[in-house]
Chain A
Amino acid sequence: MTADVQTHRAQVLGVKGLVKHYGAHTVVDDVSFHIGAGETYGLLGPNGAGKTTIISMVSGLIPADAGSIELAGSAMTPASTRVKGHIGLVPQELAIYPDLTAKENLLFFGRLQGLHGKELKHRTGDVLELIGLADRAGEQTKKFSGGMKRRLNIGIGLLHRPTLLILDEPTVGVDPQSRNSILESVEGLATEGMAVLYTTHYMEEAERLCDRIAIIDEGRIQAEGTRGELVELTGGVDRIDLHGSGNTGAAATALRRLPGVQHVDGDASGLTLTVHNGPGLLAPIVAEAGGAGMALSSVEIVRPDLESVFLHLTGKALRD
């Protein structure tokens, strides 16, 4: 997906200068981005970066202190009842009723979105098939596994074919099998022309799903672009992960003095380095770490990825 193609997509969501304060704390600071039809846009950042607050404002759940949100050509605020019909929200928490069956949950939220009669019945059946719960449709959701609940949570958001589907950390707490199933479902949405706003702190998900990604930290978008564009920001540096024990603090101090090493970050279980020419520097790095008292158990060279970008831009690892 190239930037040129992006510019030809009809804009579904436009966010300009969004600001949100909680007391004296600014949780969202001058955030702007746009999403086109059929595009999957990712907000990648650690917990507490402001992703959910941005989503809450875009969904009309809370008002913005400044800035504007335009959805499908109309201004979006908490009072924009009609405009909300364009959104399919999949909250981070499981927003389903445990005492209702999967089908009853879908029927209820479908009616809330204005679906009725045959259309509602038809869409409910389609979504149950899509999320793989057709054979469990009549069971109360409190009997479901975590993964099944997650899939239903997403299915409810898809039911009314929204113009914009908002997925807030949809794979948190999900087993690998269900996670893969969810990601496959999301991959198929863009082909149907649906715009998707996807928040995650998992780099792999952002890389796999998103056409464009905004790296967000402390309420601000640090960088935005396709994966390739973002990786270019690192200047071609590699990441080297050193795993082991012993005196990692002394090793970090020694490695920071080594020519070619840009950044060292880590804890007692290992260190993460950003370096120019990783393969070339590997031998002196291992020698320096060992000399400083760190007992290495494994060493890995990682070519530039979004985690490297995050480290490059913020000076800290994405897992923080």
Chain B
Amino acid sequence: MVANDLRQRIRDKSVVIFSLLVPLALMAVLNLSFGGFDSGSATLKPAVVIASSEDSGQLGDALLEAVESLPIMDVTVRKVAAGDVSRETKATGADLGIILPAEFTAAVTSGQALSVQVVEGDSAGLETDVLISVVDGLLEQFSAGTVTAEAGNIAGLPHDVLGGLAQQAAAGTPALTLSEGQASAGQLSLKGTLVAGQAGLFLLFTVGFGVLGLLAEREEGTLSRLQAAPVTPGTIISAKALVGFILGVVATTVLLTAGSVLFGVSFGSPAVVALLVLAVAAAATSLTFIVARLVRSAEQANIAQSIVAMLLGIAGGAFFPIEASGFLATLMDLNPIAAFIRGLGITAGGGGIADVATPLAIMLGFAAVSTLASRLLPDRGVRA
């Protein structure tokens, strides 16, 4: 029965088109859209900033010096009177104008509300956005120093200690830092995430060719012939599930391999990646048992499977990373697609079987729970 189904799926080309060609095309398109950021090829042009610094203290000049000495782009700061900043910025085609108030340092050090006005140039582009972000970040650092000093003062710390803390906070170098690791971080490059995400997303569609194919067989009339044959319903369901699982494993393996070759992504140890693929295919296949129980027709099954695939795929980070907190974060951690991508991140960083134990457990647990849940649901669909 399995061989028969696989032969048909290959002949009708539906699997090849939908499970291989479409995701590969999507990967290519997404890579073209987002790939530039990942490669670091975006170049920033030299920028000109028109600024007023009537600040009586030192922080105004410090901010402008920080802007001028940015390592990621060449910035020239021209100082003018506050009233001329807007006009000069527009007249000279500068990228940004900054108006620092006279009481800038006093306001920062006293923790008072402060407004720094920026003027975007007529030719504002990526450089202007970067400069605004930098100014915003510097202002936050200055505020952090003030807040730290204030907190230390309330706590009764000596003045020399307070000064050191404030300086440290303002400099943006916290005592504890997170360094981006490899094996433990579970982070894929953007290209790697796209390849893994699309493979995971389309796996959810591919496995639908298995169990959900029973609904199509019912509409085509062949299910009655299967049911009238001397085989148990369990055999029929198991054969269909195995078809979905095999197609899922093959399609995901091909997608990861093709993605690796075409987009220059490495996912690490093939053996560990294979374990992840087997586990995520099992999880995806188990979902089809539930869908098959709940729907009444092949059309309903396709719609339901598409909804489930898009929901789990997007939530799992198939298109872009999704962040959440609290219960929602826990729920999203249990998403097999998210676990799959996380597992591939670990293997890409050199992780072994022990390192991917958690993602594997999540995917296999998901498969077990879904299969069990499907047995408890009333059968509105296939009744094989």
Residues of A within 8 A of B (CB): 56, 59-61, 78, 81-85, 87, 89, 91-97, 99-100, 104, 108-109, 112-114, 140, 156
Contact of A82 among B4, B227, B230 (CB under 8 A): B230
Are A112 and B226 in contact, with the CB atoms below 8 A?
Answer: yes
Q: Which residue of B lies closest to A86 (CB)?
A: B230
Say yes or no: A95-B229 contact (C-beta < 8 A), given A100-B7, A100-B8: no
State the CA gap A81–B8 with chains docked (Å).
26
Q: Which B residues are in CB contact (< 8 Å) with A85?
A: 229-230
* Shortest 6 CB-CB contacts between residues of A and residues of B: A93-B221, A85-B230, A95-B221, A89-B228, A95-B225, A99-B11
* A100–B225 touching, CB < 8 Å: no
Q: Which residues of A contact B226 (CB under 8 A)?
A: 112
Task: Flag whether B232 is at the interface (Cβ < 8 A).
Answer: yes
- Inter-subunit contact A84/B228 (CB<8 Å): yes
B375 to chain A, nearest CB (A): 17
CA distance A100 to B4 in the complex (A): 9
Pairwise interchain contact A96-B230, C-beta atoms closer than 8 A: no
A residues near B1, Cβ cutoff 8 Å: 108, 112
Determine whether the beta carbon of B224 is less than 8 Å from that of A61: yes
Main secondary structure of the interface of B (DSSP, over half): helix
B228 and A97 contacting across the interface, CB-CB below 8 Å: no
Q: Which residues of A contact B220 (CB under 8 A)?
A: 93-95
In the complex, are the beta carbons of B222 and A89 less than 8 A apart? no
Instruction: List the B side residues contacting A82 at CB < 8 Å.
Output: 230
Contact call B231/A89, Cβ cutoff below 8 A: no
27 contacts between A and B (CB under 8 A): A59-B224, A60-B227, A60-B228, A78-B227, A84-B229, A84-B230, A85-B230, A89-B225, A91-B225, A92-B221, A93-B220, A93-B221, A94-B221, A95-B220, A95-B225, A97-B222, A99-B7, A99-B11, A99-B12, A100-B7, A100-B11, A104-B7, A108-B1, A108-B4, A109-B225, A112-B1, A112-B226
Q: With contacts A81-B230, A82-B230 known, is A96 near B7, CB below 8 A?
A: no
Determine whether the beta carbon of A99 is less than 8 Å from that of B8.
yes
Which residues of B3-34 are within 8 A (CB) of A?
Answer: 4, 7-8, 11-12
Question: 19 other contacts beyond A91-B221, A97-B8, with CB at 8 A cut-off?
Answer: A59-B227, A59-B228, A78-B227, A81-B232, A82-B230, A85-B230, A89-B225, A89-B228, A91-B225, A93-B220, A95-B221, A95-B224, A96-B222, A99-B8, A100-B4, A104-B4, A109-B229, A113-B229, A156-B225
B residues in contact (CB < 8 Å) with A:
1, 4, 7-8, 11-12, 220-222, 224-232
- B221, B226, B228, most chain A CB atoms within 10 A: B228
Q: Is the CB of B230 within 8 A of A95?
A: no
A82–B229 Cα gap in the complex (Å)?
A: 9
Residues on B with C-beta less than 8 A from A113 are 229-230
Report the minimum CB–CB distance from A297 to chain B (whole Å): 41
A108 and B232 CA atoms in complex are apart in Å by 16
A168 to chain B: closest residue by CB: B224
Q: How far is the CB of B4 from chain A (nearest CB, A)?
A: 5
Chain A nearest CB from B13 CB (Å) reads 10
Contacts of B231 on A, CB cut-off 8 Å?
81, 112
Partner of B227, one of A61, A83, A100: A61
In whole angstroms, what is the CA distance A60 to B231 when docked?
12
Q: How far is the CA of A84 from the CA of B225 in the complex (A)?
A: 11
Q: Do the beta carbons of A91 and B224 come within 8 Å of each other? A: yes
How many Å lie between the Cα of A259 and that of B38 in the bound state?
Answer: 98
- Complex CA gap A320/B4 in Å reads 41
* Distance to closest chain B CB from A45 (angstroms): 20
Least CB distance, A136 to chain B, in whole angstroms = 17
Closest approach, in angstroms, between the C-beta of A99 and any C-beta of chain B? Answer: 4
A96 to B231, CA, bound (A): 18
Cα(A91)–Cα(B224), bound, Å: 8
Chain A residue nearest to B13 (CB atoms) is A99
Distance from A163 Cβ to chain B, minimum over Cβ atoms (Å): 12
